[in-house]
Amino acid sequence: MKNQFSRQDYERIAAFIAERTRYRPRVAMVLGSGLSPLADAVANADSLPYAEIPDFPLSSVIGHAGCLVIGELAGREVMIMQGRVHYYEGYPLEQITLPLRVMRAFGIDTLILTNAAGGLNPAYQPGDVMLIEDQINLVGMIGHNPLMGPNDAALGPRFPNLSDLYDRGLRQLALSVAAAQGLTLHRGVYVGLAGPAFETPAEVRFLRMIGGDATGMSTTNEAVTARHSGMRVLGFSGISNAAIAAIDTDQEASHEEVLAAGALITPRLIALLQGMLARWDEAASP
């Protein structure tokens, strides 16, 4: 598998996908750990296993099905990544973010990111959903940023402005839909870590101290890449465990706990996303 890609590579892979689906969606989603069942709500779907897509990275983590699902959700065409790859699996960032570049070449202009996250905010409980209002990309801040290296201006600017990384209009729509559904939708800051180890109590204290409300092992570099490419970005964290419990209790986090929480989170996210897609035209255009 290649480690470096050009704009022509992204266009080639996008053309491969286009030849295998009747749909031309403009909205895409990435599903996090335990959230793959959300793709089952897609109607009349065309499915492509990642293994059949040239140069696509393959997930090795339980709970990530590894399939590109393209079809209709709430009457709108969508492309869904049923699972992602992570930095801790050993992939370089250029491979991790390749699917986002391919989406943009395909014609996607809006990306909805989801993840399973540990709750840092003491008000959050497993099964809750948090709207990501902003992020702290600790992986990027220590020098592992997907935009490092030569910049192709046709893909995006050398120095992108991330002051509105998570699109304000889409966030407002999400809050409106959640209120109409009676869903408690927290608003907070997501902290991206490399993983795969769960956080120590001292690390949890630090993440809370710097302003984090939830933390996980994905999403932040995907969001940066998508925004660099010109896509609107929206993000949701499904709170799968109370990371803050590590400070004062003997409770141990586990991947099994994360997957189990997905059963609570998935129906809430399905209802929220379907409600948003049904009112999609209310979101301000970029």
Tell me the pLDDT tens digit for each residue of 87-108.
Answer: 999 999 999 999 999 999 999 9
Choosing from 103, 217, 242, 246, the catalytic residue is 217
Which residues touch 65 (CB under 8 Å, ≥6 apart)?
Answer: 36, 39, 82, 83
Q: Can you tell me the distance from the alpha carbon of 67 to that of 84, in angstroms, rounded to the nearest whole number?
A: 9
Give how far Cα 14 sits from Cα of 51, 55, 99, Å: 15, 11, 9
- Tell me whether residue 218 is one of the annotated catalytic residues: yes
Catalytic residue, from 11, 23, 176, 255: name it: 255
Instruction: Residue 248: give its domain's CATH number.
Output: 3.40.50.1580
Catalytic one among 33, 36, 229, 240?
33
Residue 2 in domain: no
pLDDT band, very low/low/confident/very high, at 13 (cuts 50, 70, 90): very high
Q: Is 241 a catalytic residue?
A: yes
Q: Is 89 a catalytic residue?
A: yes
Single out the residue of 70, 28, 31 nearest to residue 262, CA to CA: 31
**Which are the contacts of 117, defined by CB distance < 8 A and separation ≥ 6?**
130, 190, 214, 215, 216, 237, 238, 239, 240
pLDDT at residue number 62 = 61
The domain total for the chain is 1
Mean of pLDDT over the chain = 92
pLDDT band at 142 (very low <50, low <70, confident <90, very high): very high
Whether 245 is catalytic: no
Question: What DSSP character marks residue 53?
Answer: S
- Single out the catalytic residue among 36, 59, 121, 241: 241
228 is catalytic: no
Structural domain range at position 22: 7-280
The model's confidence at residue 1, banded by pLDDT at 50, 70 and 90, is low
- Confidence tier at 158 by pLDDT (50, 70, 90): very high
Based on the residue annotation, tell me whether 88 is a catalytic residue of this protein.
yes
Active-site residue (options: 10, 14, 41, 89): 89
Mean pLDDT for the stretch of residues 56-84: 89
Using one digit for the tens of pLDDT, what is the confidence trace for 33-63? 778 888 999 999 999 999 999 999 998 766 5
Q: Is residue 285 part of a domain?
A: no
The per-residue DSSP string of 245-276 comes to: HHHHS-----HHHHHHHHHHHHHHHHHHHHHH
Q: Is the pLDDT of residue 260 over 70?
A: yes
CA 121 to chain centre: 20
Q: Is the pLDDT of residue 262 over 90?
A: no
Residue 220 lies in a domain: yes
| Whether residue 64 lies in the annotated active site | yes
Predicted confidence band of residue 261 (pLDDT cuts 50, 70, 90): confident
Residue 253 scores a pLDDT above 70:
no
Position 233 in a domain: yes
